[in-house]
Structure 1
Amino acid sequence: MIKLKPFLVALVLAVPSAFAQSPVSGRLARSPSAVTGFVKTNGQKFELNGADYTLVGLNSYWVGLMNLSPAAMSSAFADMAAAGATTSRTWGFDEVTRDPGNAYYQIWNGATPTINTGANGLQNFDNVVAAAKANGIRLIVTLTNNWSDYGGSDVYVTQILGAGQPHDFFYSNAKVVAAYKNYVQTFVKRYVNEPTILAWELMNEPRCAGSTSSASASCTPATITSWASEMSAFIKSIDSNHLVSVGDEGFFSIPGNSNFLYSGGMGVDNVGLTAIKTIDFGTFHMYPFSWGQTADPVGFGDTWITNHTVLVQRALNKPVILEEFGVTQSQFDQVTAYSKWYSDVIADGLAGDLIWQAGSTSVTNANDGDMVFPGTSVYTLVTQQAAALKKRG
């Protein structure tokens, strides 16, 4: 998630060995739980062991990044499970250029990355997986970020190619792509036989431009779609058990439309990305106020949800999920907005939803204004939505 200020929308319906790493086998502490079998897709639905799987829950990017104890991690997932959540989305990355003395997953020395497999690295993520597993929660794991939070893709570009290079070289430069594949291979192989992982996600909110770095003149939706095709096929070649998604915001690329949400100007074509053979389900995000939709934010959300249900999920016969959405209470009444959007998901037949973002009785320092905490009226809505989606099937 990141928040920008755009304009109003016209509504319309084999890795190089040069990278340092430590081999790991991916052993996890085993806890009794109901997490067995791998989630699959069947047409517009998710399935688990031959039955419908309801994908509903909350984002919790922070669980593996806040130096939490295993008990605090378990408490966070227990809160989600108590609300009826089945799924949570979390970050599986943290790029650093110096040792921060706490959790991180990859450290760079010049152009050479070293994956941290120690207690504050991938072993820490082992604890995330074990805590989710113990509470019956499945994880969508995002493997890098378009934005600079926790390093992200610009670290790859800057460390390998130097400062000032276009953001989109992450998608097209052979050395950068190889470095990312190296990280992905190590991370994915560690959990290849772990059913707690629901899906691997290529990037949080890919765009041609990043937080501070600009796009090259040559970046188009085809740039990111080609990269997503290559990376998703790469993951499938080393892990046939897990689903793969892109993690994009759901922007369309419609010729002649000048609005950034529909024009392809951000480098995103949600239809093209979701249509990739090795992408199992589509994603879209929804932040009306961050995207300039202040006149009628609830109505904008109605149309945004319907567009993705009709133009992507039904057209491609693949599941699509509302993967991030939110308003702060200072922007708009959350209960009013979320009640309507949740009912839209149910009525339209969208495959699932994940609110941004989970609060926990054990964690408050990741609150960006969108966090929802147990015992609040918004959390009650999350609980009601989980029950309604499970009932709908």
Structure 2
Amino acid sequence: MKVFDILLSIACLVAQVAASHLNLHRFGKLQNAQAHSIRRNTTSGDVPGTQGLNFTIDGQADYFAGTNSYWIGYLTNNSDVDLALDHLHASGLRILRIWGFSDVNSKPTDGKVYFQLLQNGNATINTGSDGLQRLDHVVGAAERRGIKLIINFVNNWSDFGGINAYTTAFGGTSTSWYTSPTIQDVYRKYIKAVVSRYSQSPAIFAWELANEPRCNGCNTSVIYNWAASTSAYIKSLDSKHMVAIGDEGFGLDIGSDGSYPFTYAEGLDFAKNLAIDTIDFGTFHLYPSTWGVSNSFGNGWITAHAKACAAAQKPCLMEEYGVDTDKCTIESQWQQTVLGTKGIGADLFWQYGDKLSTGNTPNDDFTIYRGTDDYKCLVTDHVANK
């Protein structure tokens, strides 16, 4: 989650849209052909999947509660990782969404964890002790505790590099990122490095294309083509695990009140993207205060996406949601709505907070810290009621 200006920019050039169609052939023709035979994951056992509008974990179809922790893969103390995951396990939270990216344009000199160096037209994946080995420990620790991870591959925002780190190294803009052959080749090589590293792990719940992808002012075909091609590519590497987009759920006619989140201004069409064969479930986020709508907007937003997912016969995941004040009162209402609405299979609040050896984990005002009244209300009580 990131608070960004929501003013609309000038529509993307027609040339960008045309390029997106070309890139579908360049990047995904073979993978899309292979993917037609790959349906949604409905396996049992250790590999999570779907069963109708529910998710399955360890072969059991149920409603699952979970959370987000962007920071856990960047911890350098294994004991801190273990402690946080022990606490999550004890809370009954089954799904944890983490950042699978940390892109930099210059090599850190302070010991900061980074996963990929993008510099002067070159890309180097860091598999060292300050790189993907940190993610190794998170995945292994999650395996031992039965926690299932959603791992995504790039950030729309500049936090931890994101799309901006790619365009800084290779040129282009945040909108042309989706259609640049050079950039998409680098992005896919990183995806392959991560997927091949953990594809056999029972801790993986799903792979996710990006955190909150947007293409402001673009034709919706740009993100659609990118999502179709990239998800098919991931399925060609790992056909067992689920794949999702990681979007905020923008662009939806069902239940629309005409407000900004329902529009197609960010280049997203929720129902159209959900229909992609190699996308296993829908994702949507909920941050009224950053979208210019009231908190009462939340329940309608939830039910609209539930209807879209029910129509597509794929479950929805409300994978990020939060407010910065009066958390229990507002967010518990949303939780009651998701539990009582057909089409939603799980929810992940933003975000989990804990006290580790270095003190409290990052607080972005939406954080819900373990041991607080809000935690009892939104975690303990929610898990008990699901």
Both proteins in one fold, TM over 0.5:
yes
* 1:178 partnered with 2:174: no
* 1:284 partnered with 2:281: no
Residue of structure 1 equivalent to 2:355: 361
Q: Tell me the CA shift for residue 365 of structure 1.
A: 4.1
Q: Distance in 1 between matches of 2:85 and 2:322?
A: 20
SS in structure 1 of the partner of residue 141 of structure 2? helix
Superposed, which structure 2 residues align to 1:185-196 within 5 Å?
A: 185-196=192-203
Q: Distance in 2 between matches of 1:301 and 1:253?
A: 14
Superposed, which structure 2 residues align to 1:163-242 within 5 Å?
A: 165-209=172-216, 219-242=218-241
Distance 1:185 1:6, change over 3 A: closer
* 1:80 partnered with 2:73: no
Residue of structure 1 equivalent to 2:306: 309
Query: Which residue identity is paired with 2:312?
Result: L
Q: Tell me the CA shift for residue 257 of structure 1.
A: 8.1
Q: For the Cα contact (< 8 Å) 1:15–1:182, is it kept in 2?
A: no
Residue of structure 1 equivalent to 2:16: none
CA deviation string 1:327-374 (max 9, x = no partner)? 012xxx111101111100111132110000000121524111111111
Residue of structure 1 equivalent to 2:38: none
Superposed, which structure 2 residues align to 1:369-380 within 5 Å?
A: 369-380=365-376
Identity %: 38
Q: For the Cα contact (< 8 Å) 1:132–1:138, is it kept in 2?
A: yes
SS in structure 2 of the partner of residue 93 of structure 1? coil
SS in structure 1 of the partner of residue 273 of structure 2? helix
RMSD of aligned Cα (Å): 2.2
Query: Which residue identity is paired with 1:336?
Result: T
CA deviation string 1:88-130 (max 9, x = no partner)? 1000000011221221000123111000011111111101111
* 1:346 partnered with 2:339: yes
Q: Tell me the CA shift for residue 6 of structure 1.
A: 4.9
Structure 2 gap segments, 5+ residues each:
8-24, 28-43
Q: Tell me the CA shift for residue 139 of structure 1.
A: 0.4
Query: Which residue identity is paired with 1:99?
Result: K
**Over 6 Å off, 4+ runs:** none
CA deviation string 1:289-336 (max 9, x = no partner)? 111113xx1x211101111111x211101010110000012xxx1111
2:160 to 147, 150, 157: 150
Distance 1:6 1:148, change over 3 A: closer
Q: For the Cα contact (< 8 Å) 2:65–2:95, is it kept in 1?
A: yes
Q: Tell me the CA shift for residue 64 of structure 1.
A: 0.8
State the number of aligned residues.
346
CA deviation string 1:4-62 (max 9, x = no partner)? 4559xxxxxx999xxxxxxxxxxxxxxxxxx9610011221112343214431110011
Residue of structure 2 equivalent to 1:56: 65
Q: Distance in 2 between matches of 1:291 and 1:254?
A: 17
Distance 1:244 1:263, change over 3 A: same
Residue of structure 2 equivalent to 1:325: 321
CA deviation string 1:154-206 (max 9, x = no partner)? 21122112xxx321111111111111001001110111100101100000000
TM-score normalised by structure 2 residue count? 0.85
Q: Distance in 2 between matches of 1:292 and 1:251?
A: 14
Structure 1 gap segments, 5+ residues each:
8-13, 17-34, 210-214
Q: Distance in 2 between matches of 1:102 and 1:289?
A: 32
Q: For the Cα contact (< 8 Å) 1:4–1:291, is it kept in 2?
A: no
Residue of structure 2 equivalent to 1:139: 149
More helix by share: 2
Q: For the Cα contact (< 8 Å) 1:83–1:379, is it kept in 2?
A: no
SS in structure 1 of the partner of residue 166 of structure 2? helix
Q: For the Cα contact (< 8 Å) 1:193–1:241, is it kept in 2?
A: no
Q: Distance in 1 between matches of 2:57 and 2:89?
A: 18
Q: Distance in 1 between matches of 2:119 and 2:251?
A: 38
Q: Distance in 1 between matches of 2:341 and 2:266?
A: 27
Query: Which residue identity is paired with 2:72?
Result: V
Superposed, which structure 2 residues align to 1:25-174 within 5 Å?
A: 37-65=46-74, 67-100=75-108, 101-161=111-171, 165-174=172-181
Q: For the Cα contact (< 8 Å) 2:62–2:345, is it kept in 1?
A: no
CA deviation string 1:230-267 (max 9, x = no partner)? 00000000101211000000012449986431220111
2:381 to 379, 384, 388: 384
Residue of structure 1 equivalent to 2:37: none
Query: Which residue identity is paired with 1:300?
Result: F
Q: Distance in 1 between matches of 2:26 and 2:116?
A: 17
SS in structure 2 of the partner of residue 108 of structure 1? strand
